[in-house]
Amino acid sequence: MRFLLQRAAFYLFTAWAAITLNFFIPRLVPGDPVQSLISRNQGRISADAIESLRVLFGLDTHENIWQQYLDYWGQLLHGDLGLSFTFFPTPVATVIGDSLPWTVGLVGITTIISFLLGTALGVGAGWRRGSWVDGLLPATTFLSSIPYFWLGLVAIAVFTGPGSFFPSSGGYEAGLVPAFDGYFIPSAIKHSVLPAATILVSSMSGWILSMRNMMVTVSSEDYITVAHAKGLSERRVALSYAARNALLPNVSGFALSLGFIVGGTLLVEIVFSYPGLGYQLFQAVGYKDYPLMQGIFLIITISVLVANLLADVAYLLLDPRTRKS
C-alpha cells in the first residue's frame, strides 16, 4: 500500500510537471494564436474583436505570467481547456469529448484484443517450440516491423474503392447522426473494421513474439521441471507455471501500450480520416490550433501516467515479489 501511495505521489508530481510544461511551451513559441487567427480571417477583424480574442485566449498583457499560470490551473480544474481555433468558437473540451470515444473505441478495443490474442498465441507457440508453429515466426517479425499507416494504405488500396463493402474513410456514413440506433452502430462498426484490422495485424505480432520468447525462457526454469516431475497435467504446467510467470513482462508492456492508445495511432486515424483524437491533433497542427494541441497533449500525458499507475498495480497483483510486507 505504501508503495502504491509513493507511486501515486510520483505520478502526481509528473502530471504537475507535464501540465506546467504544457502551459509554458506555447507561450515560448514565437507568434501568438490571435495573430494566426487574424491572418486566417485576412485582417477583417475589428480592434475590439482582437482585444476580446486576446482576453478569451488568456493573452491579455495586463496579467503577469504567474497570474496567468494560476488562472490556467483554475480553468483546468473546472474542465475549461479554452476555445479551439479550428472549430472556433467550440470549446476544446467539447472537441476532445467528441473525438475521444472514437479513439478509445477503435484503438482501445483493438489494443485489448491484440494483447489477449497475441499473448494466447504466444503461449501456444512458446510451449510447442520446435514444432511447425516456429515456421510462422518470421512472418510475425515481418508484420510487427511494418508501420501501421503503411499497412493502412495497402488495406485502402486493396479493399476499398467503388462498389466495395469497406469504406475508405470516416467513422460513419455521412448523413447519419451519432446515436445508439440500428443505423448508426452498424455503420460505425463497418467503418472501423479496416483500421482495426490494420492495427491488429501489426501490433499483435509484437505480443506473440515477446510472449513466445518469455515462454521459452521460463520453460527452462527449475520450477517447470519440478511441475513436470509432479505429474501435473500439461495444461496446468503450461498455464499456471509457465505462462503465469512469462506473462509478467508482457503485462507491464500492455499497460504502457494503453497509455499510447490516445496518441499512438495518429497515423492510422489520418490514413483512414477517422474522427478520433489523433486525426484531430493532425488538424490542430495544420491550423496552429494551440489550445486544441495543448488539450490533446494533456489528455495523452494523463493517459500515459494513468497507464503507468495501472502497470504498477497490475505488477503488484501478479508478482508477489514486488509486494513488500
Partner 1 sequence: MSDPLLEIRGLRVDYGLGRTAVHAVRDVDLTLHRGEVLGLAGESGSGKSTLAYGLTRLLPPPGVVSGGQVIYHPADGPPVDVLTLSPAQLRRFRWAETSIVFQGAMNSLNPVHKVSTQLLDVIKAHEPTSTAAGRLARARDLLRLVGIAADRLDSYPHQLSGGMRQRVMIAMALALEPQVVIMDEPTTALDVVMQRQILGQLAELRERLGFAVLFITHDLSLLVEFSDRIAIMYGGRIVEEAPAAELYRRALHPYTEGLLHSFPALRGPRRELTGIPGSPPDLRAMPEGCAFHPRCPKAFDPCDKKVPALGAAEPGRDVACWLHPVAAPAPR
Q: Residue 30 or residue 130: which is nearer to partner 1 going by CB?
A: 130
Task: Give the distance between the most distant pair of CA atoms in the chain.
Answer: 85
| 130 makes contact with partner 1 (CB under 8 A) | yes
Minimum CB–partner distance for residue 214 and partner 1 (Å): 13
| 185 makes contact with partner 1 (CB under 8 A) | no
Pick from 138, 163, 175, 320: which binds partner 1 (CB under 8 A)?
A: 320
Binding flags for partner 1, 218-257, as an x/- string (CB under 8 A): --xxxx-xxxxxxxxx--x---xx--xx--x---------
Minimum CB–partner distance for residue 228 and partner 1 (Å): 6
- Please give the Cα distance from 96 to 291 (Å, whole number): 11
Let me know: does 81 contact 298? Beta carbons within 8 Å.
Answer: yes
Residue 243: which residues within 8 A CB-CB, separation 6 or more? 123, 127, 215
Minimum CB–partner distance for residue 10 and partner 1 (Å): 25
| 325 makes contact with partner 1 (CB under 8 A) | yes
Minimum CB–partner distance for residue 36 and partner 1 (Å): 56
With H, G, I as helix, E, B as strand and everything else as coil, classify residue 274: coil
Minimum CB–partner distance for residue 320 and partner 1 (Å): 4
Q: Residue 96 or residue 227: which is nearer to partner 1 going by CB?
A: 227
Rounded to the nearest angstrom, the gap between the alpha carbon of residue 255 and the centroid of all alpha carbons in its chain is: 11
The angle at the Cα of 66, spanning 61 to 69, to the nearest 5 degrees, equals 90
Rounded to the nearest angstrom, the gap between the alpha carbon of residue 137 and the centroid of all alpha carbons in its chain is: 27
| 173 makes contact with partner 1 (CB under 8 A) | no
Minimum CB–partner distance for residue 114 and partner 1 (Å): 24
Let me know: does 185 contact 96? Beta carbons within 8 Å.
Answer: no
With H, G, I as helix, E, B as strand and everything else as coil, classify residue 275: coil
Minimum CB–partner distance for residue 247 and partner 1 (Å): 9
Determine the interface stretch with partner 1 among 74-82, 184-192, 216-224, 280-288 (rule: CB under 8 A).
Answer: 216-224
Let me know: does 254 contact 310? Beta carbons within 8 Å.
Answer: no
Q: Residue 173 or residue 319: which is nearer to partner 1 going by CB?
A: 319
Q: Residue 21 or residue 244: which is nearer to partner 1 going by CB?
A: 244
Residue 113: which residues within 8 A CB-CB, separation 6 or more? 200
DSSP string, 220-232: TSHHHHHHHHTT-
* Interacting residue ranges for partner 1, rule: CB under 8 A: 130, 220-223, 225-233, 236, 240-241, 244-245, 248, 318-321, 325
